[in-house]
């Protein structure tokens, strides 16, 4: 089903929220740095040269997100940054005061946060509260405030993502910070999806720790950072040479870090125009798909309440996996939610938290735009969606009912 169509038409890549295509400038910069010898921790000339490039990159990245260079802790990416922030903050805060056992978060976090919190609960004595979201997937700030008020002294940290990776809903982080700050509770946010799409200002955000990563902004895979305020105590996750502020060990990956810096610069430089362009494509796709498939439903808020590049739709009676396969066969690449390691479809915890039932949750697709997207991509989706939905509906019935009788 696939080859004939993909040969004649270019692939429509609408899965930027999973991984963005890498900027050519990033590839050039990484290749150039890979060709240079030197460990950034070495004291000789080659080491100093490598260190210089890493520190210049750190300054570039800090400037891109309005942080100080010393607040940029390089990691292997979003998952490590989330683990480091949640576990590191919990361990440090709990050690300083054993009463601090509560971790407050939302029910729609990425698994890198969610599973870290579950680990803290089962292995480190944490009490995790996942606070509810509304039907649009926006954190219920009141319930967070109430939860903090109940016993502020016992809260170790609050972690709430800046924008949801599946449905794109922007979270009320300002209110979260305001609530936590009243009691000196540190706040971590996973901002992986936001960088390059909306303005990201670490200093102004008021959070203590922020996760960013390279492969969502046109940079390399396997490199990211935890932006960490200088005065925040954090227990290390990885032990060794203590290369990154003593909270992260591991030989500094100069080439990847250079790539991250180039991508950060490009992502931030064109952000305003890109944001407008992407939200235009997004709204065009949402409106035209809803016209073509009248019973489809948008998940998450319309307009400015969601990421510029995110369109997330439910198609009643369809299995998202069938839709994905049918579109894939037409060269249209999207996602049923966040990618799953084993490839086994599961109803999204985000959609369930938003009050959708299992069937709706499994009948959903995420189209995510980025720096290589164009209006042709939207046209192709609109052309393909109706026959795909018709077939997926027929297959959905065949797959769930009694089958061949």
Partner 1 sequence: MSGGVDSAVAAARAVEAGHDVTGIHLALSRNPASYRSGARGCCTIEDSNDARRAADVIGIPFYVWDLSDRFHEDVVEDFLAEYAAGRTPNPCLRCNEKIKFAAVLDRAVALGFDAVATGHYARLVKRADGVVEMHRAIDHAKDQSYVLGVLTQQQLAHSLFPLGDTTKSEIRLEAERRGLAVAQKPDSHDICFISDGDTAGWLRERLGAGAGPIVDPAGEVLGTHEGSFGFTIGQRRGLRIGQPAADGRPRYVLDIEPVSNTVTVGPREALAVDLLTGIDPLWCSGTPDEVMSCKVQLRAHGAELAAVARVVDGGLDVELLEPAFGVAPGQAVVVYDGTRVMGSATIAAAGRRTPV
Q: Which residues are catalytic, by number?
A: 340
Cα-Cα-Cα-Cα torsion 11, 12, 18, 24, nearest 10 degrees, comes to 70
Rank residues 230 and 404 by Cβ distance to partner 1 and give the closer one. Answer: 404
Structural contact between residues 212 and 223, judged by C-beta atoms closer than 8 angstroms: no
CB 14 within 8 A of CB 367: yes
- Nearest approach in angstroms of CB 391 to partner 1 is 5
CB 312 within 8 A of CB 319: no
Binding site for partner 1 (CB under 8 A): 1-4, 321-322, 325-326, 328-329, 340-346, 391-392, 394-395, 397-400, 403-404
Q: Are 192 and 112 in contact (CB under 8 A)?
A: no
Q: Which is nearer to partner 1, 147 or 338 (CB)?
A: 338
Cα(19)–Cα(26) distance, integer angstroms: 15
- Supply 85's token pair: 């922030």
Rounded Cα–Cα distance for residues 189 and 205 (Å): 10
Structure-token pair, residue 184: 């000196």
Helix, strand and coil in the chain, % to nearest 5: 45, 15, 40
Compute the least distance from the CB of residue 352 to partner 1, in Å: 13
| Residue with smaller CB distance to partner 1, 45 or 343 | 343
Q: Provide, rounded to whole angstroms, the least separation between the CB of residue 356 and partner 1.
A: 17
Identify the helix (H) or strand (E) that includes residue 104: strand 102-106
Min dist CB 261 to partner 1, Å, is: 34
| Rounded-to-integer distance, Cα 74 and Cα 197, Å | 21
Nearer to partner 1, 6 or 42 (CB): 6
What contacts 405, CB < 8 A, 6 or more positions away?
A: none
State the nearest-atom distance from the C-beta of 317 to partner 1, in Å: 12
């Amino acid at each position: 089903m696939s080859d004939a169509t993909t040969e004649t038409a270019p692939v429509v890549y609408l899965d930027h929220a999973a991984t963005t295509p890498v900027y050519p400038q990033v590839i050039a910069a990484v290749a150039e740095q890979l060709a240079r010898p030197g460990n950034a921790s070495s004291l000789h000339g080659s080491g100093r040269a490598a260190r210089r490039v890493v520190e210049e990159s750190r300054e570039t990245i800090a400037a891109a997100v309005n942080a100080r260079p010393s607040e940029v802790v390089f990691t292997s990416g979003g998952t490590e940054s989330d683990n480091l922030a949640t576990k590191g903050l919990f361990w440090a805060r709990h050690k300083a005061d054993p009463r601090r056992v509560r971790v407050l978060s939302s029910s729609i976090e990425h698994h890198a946060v969610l599973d870290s919190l579950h680990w803290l609960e089962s292995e480190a004595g944490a009490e995790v509260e996942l606070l509810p979201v509304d039907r649009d997937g926006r954190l219920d700030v009141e319930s967070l405030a109430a939860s903090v008020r109940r016993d502020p002294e016992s809260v170790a940290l609050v972690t709430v993502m800046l924008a949801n990776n599946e449905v794109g809903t922007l979270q009320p982080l300002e209110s979260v910070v305001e609530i936590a700050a009243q009691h000196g509770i540190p706040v971590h946010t996973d901002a992986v999806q936001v960088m390059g799409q909306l303005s990201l200002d670490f200093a102004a955000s008021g959070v203590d720790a922020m996760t960013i990563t390279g492969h969502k902004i046109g940079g390399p895979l396997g490199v990211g950072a935890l932006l960490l305020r200088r005065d925040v105590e954090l227990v290390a996750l990885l032990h060794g040479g203590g290369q990154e502020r003593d909270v992260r060990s591991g030989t500094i990956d100069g080439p990847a870090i250079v790539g991250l810096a180039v991508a950060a610069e490009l992502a931030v430089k064109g952000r305003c125009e890109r944001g407008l362009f992407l939200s235009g494509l997004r709204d065009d796709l949402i409106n035209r798909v809803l016209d073509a498939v009248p019973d489809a439903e948008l998940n998450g808020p319309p307009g400015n309440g969601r990421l510029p590049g995110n369109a997330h739709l439910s198609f009643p009676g369809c299995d998202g996996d069938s839709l994905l396969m049918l579109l894939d066969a037409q060269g249209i690449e999207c996602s049923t939610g966040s990618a799953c390691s084993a490839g086994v479809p599961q109803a999204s915890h985000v959609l369930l938290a938003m009050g959708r039932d299992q069937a709706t949750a499994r009948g959903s697709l995420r189209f995510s735009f980025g720096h290589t997207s164009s209006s042709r991509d939207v046209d192709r989706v609109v052309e393909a969606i109706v026959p795909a939905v018709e077939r997926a509906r027929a297959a959905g019935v065949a797959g769930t009912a009694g089958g061949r009788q």
